[in-house]
Amino acid sequence: MITSLNAQSICRSMTNGNALQKIKEYCLLMRIFQNQVITGSVPAVSNLDFQELFSDFFQFPGPRRTRTMPLYSGFFRIIDDLVIDPSHRNMNYVLTELEKISHEKHVSFSSKMLHLFNPDLPIWDSMVIPNKKHTKTGAQIPQHFADPYYGGIINHSFPNVVDAVAEYNKYVVAFNNYKNGVTPPLPGEIDGATIINMFRHDMSTIPSLPRTCLSLSEISDTKALDFVIWSDRIPGTRIRTSFKSSVVPVMRRHGI
């Protein structure tokens, strides 16, 4: 449950230190995507700065991550495919293409890819969306997705792509209802719009970023809310603030 008190605490923790660096990393990732990948000047499959930032921020699948994996190079080729053909920018297509090269249904990474092209789309994250595994551990999960009042428990078992797309669409509706106030918050909870305003108020105190980066004010309402929800997923946790060593020089090259 996100209350006014812990939302304030989370937002304030993002205004300094490594937590702020992770937000800046996201802003730089999105600016490189917009200025280089979308324009075609440096495609994703050959854009090493973009690959480093994307892999670190979005935690590319599994501890066996390596650039020799077909999934790694194939993933960035799919991004370039979406740049060329906007009609492919949908969960059904991306999920199907990723399954061809990985033999798994990567709903989370499909949603992250789609978020690049449309920052108003929420990211599917198993640490945010309740499932049986996390329920058994007793970990607190955001009530606005766990309670049937907000659409019920999201299913993580996908027998086929059609079912996976249906569950993703269900999540998008639940997220947008919370963000836009379509479904009022439960007693004790805080509404999505208030959380977004808290985030933006605290971010407004941050000095401007280098011109190479997305402005903090350009972060979509969806991503602003996502930052806070992700931090609230389990008591005592916050945004992952560590960096891969290879990301540091990328950030420095862009003045961050």
Sketch the domain layout of the chain as residue ranges.
Answer: 4-253
CB 253 within 8 A of CB 31: no
The pTM for the full model equals: 0.84
151 confidence band (pLDDT: 50, 70, 90): very low
Most confident of 56-60, 97-101, 119-123: 119-123
CB 21 within 8 A of CB 241: yes
| SS3 assignment, position 134 | helix
Which has the closest alpha carbon to 36: 50, 22, 25, 26?
Answer: 50
| pLDDT the model gives residue 221 | 95
DSSP 8-state symbol, 233: S
Q: Report the pLDDT averaged over residues 147-158.
A: 48
Most confident of 25-29, 69-73, 100-104, 233-237: 25-29
